[in-house]
A and B are shown apart, each in its own frame.
Chain A
Amino acid sequence: MVEINLSFLLRLLADGLLIGFIYALMAMGLTLIFSVLRVVSFAHGEHYMIGGFAAYYLLETFTGLHPLVAILLAGSVTFAIGAVFERIFLRPLAEEKVERPGEYAILVTFGLGFFLQYLTLALIGPHPKKAARYFDLPAFELGPIKATAATLKLGTIPLSATRLTAAVIAVVLMLIMLYLIHHTWLGRGLRAVSQDKQAAAVVGINPLRMSTLAFGMGTMLAGMSGAALVPAFAWVPAVGAPAAVKSYVIIVLGGMGSIPGAMLGGLIIGVVEALGTGLLPDPNRAFAYRDAYGMLIFALVLLLRPRGLFGRQE
C-alpha cells in the first residue's frame, strides 16, 4: 500500500509541474490561434506530432546539428504547414464569407488532423522513433542533490533531464511569445485584430495577414513543443491525439484566447493528473482513469464558468 508522506506528495507535485509546463506550451499555440481567428484547431495534436518527427529526422540527417536549431527548424516546418492551410482553408473565415464559421472551422481542422495523421503513418510507418537526449546533465553530487546524465535527483525526487530541458525550452518560448505579443508591432497587430477586426483594419493592419500569421505561429508553437519532447517520449504518428485533448482541456480551463490562462491551465492540469493518479487508492483504476481527471475538471469548468479562469466575456 502507498503510504502518503510529504516527499511523495512533493514528487507528484514536481512531476505535475514539469509536464504542466510542456502542456502549457502546446495550449499556448491553441489559445493564440483562438484569440485571433476565434477557431479551435482540431489538428493541433498533429502539428505537435509532425514537429517532433521533423526534429528527429533533421537530427538524423544532419549529424552535429544543434538541437535548438533543429527545434527552430521543426517549428518553421509546422509554421509553413499551418500558414498554407490557413491560406487555403481558413481564408474564407477571415473574410467572413462562411455560414456558421464555428462549425466549419471545427470540421475542416478536424479533417486536416485526420489527413496529417494517416499521411505520416502511411509515409513513415508505425515504428516508434526517439531523438537522443539533447543535453546531458553534468554529473555532480551536492548533499541531497544528485545528478547523472539522465536524471537530476532532489532528495527522493528524480527529475528527468529530457523533461527538464523540454520544460526550460517551454518556459523560454512562452516568455518570448509574451514579449512578442506585448512589445512588438506584430503583437500589437495580433491583439488589435483579436479585439476588433474592423478597427484594426482602419488603423492599417491587414487582418487577413494577421490571421495567417496567428495560425502559423500557433502551429509553430505546437511543432516546437513536439520537437522539444521528441527525446522524452517514443514518437509515433498517433502521439498527438492525447496531447491535443490535454490542450483543449487547458484552454477551456484557462479561458479561450487567454495566454496567461493557458500557462496556468497547463500547470493545473499537470498537477491534477499527477495527484489524481498518485493518490486514488485503487492503483489500476487510478491510472486507467488518468485522462478522465482533466476531462472532468474541463466539463465542470464548461458548465460552471464557460469563459474559464481568464477568458473574457464573449
Chain B
Amino acid sequence: MMELEVRDVHLHFGGIRALNGVSFSVRGPELIGLIGPNGAGKTTLTNVISGVYKPSQGAVYLNGERISGLPPYQIARRGVGRTFQVTRAFRRMTVLENMLVPAMALHPAGRRQEFVDRAHEILRFLTMDHLALEYARSLSGGQQKLLELGRLLMLDPDLIILDEPFAGVHPKLRETIWEFITTVHQQGKAFIIISHDMETIFTLSQRLLVLNFGQLIADGPPEQVKDDPAVIEAYLGKEE
C-alpha cells in the first residue's frame, strides 16, 4: 500500500519563502483536495513532490524511501504521476505516441504491442480511441486535458497529482474528468487534486489540505475544514 510522507518541507527562492514547514502524509488510496488562495504554494508543493524542486529543508518520503532530491523521472518511475496547470501534451506527436512515452520509459523491456493495446483500451475509456493517430496539437483543449490523464494512466502511478484539472473546462468535459477521477480512485489509486473550484473539490474529495503563505493551515475531512476559522480567515480575510 502506497505511503507518501511530506516531512517539514521548506522551500526558499532567494528571500521568498514559498513553502514553510509543510508536513502531511498520504496513506493508501485517499482522494485529497489541495486548496488555498493564490500564491499559497500549491503548485510549488506539487513541484517539490514530483522532484522539480529540491526542498531547502525537510524531505519527502515515498514508501519509506526518501525521494526528495531524486530527479523527476526517478520519482515518476516510483509511482508519482502529475499533470500541469496548463496542458502539456507532446503536441507534435500522435495521441498514441503520447500514450506510449510513459509506458516505454517505465518498462524498458516491455513489448510495444502490449503498450499499444493498453493505450487503445485507455483511450476507449476516455472515448477518444478514434483520435489515436491524430497529432496532439490537432486536438481541442479539452481532449488534450483528457490525453494528459490517459498518459498518466499509462505510467500506472500509485499517486496522481492533478493541478487544476477543472480550470476552464466546459461542464460536459468536467463530468468526464470527474468520472475519470472517481473510477480510477476506485481502482485503488491515491489522488491529490489542486483546485480553485470550492464546490467541486468539497464534494469530490474525502480529505482537504489547505495551504496559506506556504503553510498548512488545515488538514481534515471537508465538512470539518469548511468551518475552520483559520480557513475562513485565509479566504475571507480577518474580520475585526
> Interface of A with B (CB < 8 Å)?
99
Per the bound structure, the CA–CA distance linking A99 and B136 in Å amounts to 13
Instruction: Tell me how far the C-beta of A104 lies from the nearest C-beta in chain B, rounded to whole angstroms.
Output: 14
Could you say which residues of chain B place their CB within 8 Å of the CB of A99?
A: 91-92, 137
Residues of A within 8 A of B91 (CB): 99
- Specify which chain A residues have a CB less than 8 angstroms from the CB of B92 in the assembled complex: 99
Count of B interface residues, CB-CB < 8 Å: 3
CB-defined interface of B32-46 with A at 8 Å, one 1/0 digit per residue?
000000000000000
Which label, helix, strand, loop or mixed, suits the secondary structure of the A interface? Answer: loop
Nearest neighbor of B13 in chain A, beta-carbon distance = A313
Interface residues of B in 82-103 (CB under 8 A from A): 91-92
The chain B residue with its CB closest to the CB of A99 is B92
**Is chain B's binding surface mostly helix, strand, loop or mixed?**
loop
Minimum distance in angstroms from A97 CB to a CB of chain B: 12
CB distance from B236 to the nearest CB of A (A): 28
Chain A residues, CB < 8 A from B137: 99
Residue interface mask B68-91, A partner, CB < 8 A = 1: 000000000000000000000001
Q: In the docked arrangement, what's the CA distance between A148 and B137, Å?
A: 68
A99 to B93, CA, bound (A): 13
- 3 contacting pairs across A/B (C-beta < 8 A): A99-B91, A99-B92, A99-B137
Give the nearest-CB partner of B91 in chain A: A99
Q: How far is the CB of B74 from chain A (nearest CB, A)?
A: 24
CA distance A99 to B92 in the complex (A): 9
A100 to B, closest residue via Cβ: B92
Q: Whole-angstrom distance from the CB of B92 to the nearest CB of chain A?
A: 7
Task: State in angstroms the CA–CA spacing of A99 and B91 once bound together.
Answer: 9
Bound: A99/B137 CA distance, A: 10
In angstroms, Cα B135 to Cα A99, docked, is 14
Contact residues, B2-38 vs A (CB, 8 A): none
Question: Chain B, 150-191, contact with A by CB distance < 8 Å: what is the 0/1 string?
Answer: 000000000000000000000000000000000000000000
How far apart are B87's CB and chain A's nearest CB, in angstroms?
A: 16
Which residues, 189 to 215 on B, are CB-close (under 8 Å) to A?
none
Interface string of B133-151 (1 = CB under 8 A from A): 0000100000000000000
Q: Distance in Å from the Cβ of B208 to the closest Cβ of chain A?
A: 33
Shortest C-beta distance, B86 to chain A (Å), equals: 14
What 3 pairs across the A-B complex have the smallest Cβ distances? A99-B92, A99-B91, A99-B137
Q: Which residue of A lies closest to B92 (CB)?
A: A99
Q: How far is the CB of B129 from chain A (nearest CB, A)?
A: 26
Q: How far apart sit A99 and B90, CA to CA, in the bound complex (Å)?
A: 12
CA distance A99 to B138 in the complex (A): 13
Distance to closest chain B CB from A102 (angstroms) = 15
For the complex, what is the distance from the CA of A168 to the CA of B91, rounded to whole Å? Answer: 51
The A-contacting residues of B in range 56-75, CB under 8 angstroms, are: none
Within 108-129 of B, Cβ neighbours of A (below 8 Å) are at none
A35 CB to closest chain B CB, in angstroms?
23
**Whole-angstrom distance between the Cβ of B79 and the nearest chain A Cβ:** 32
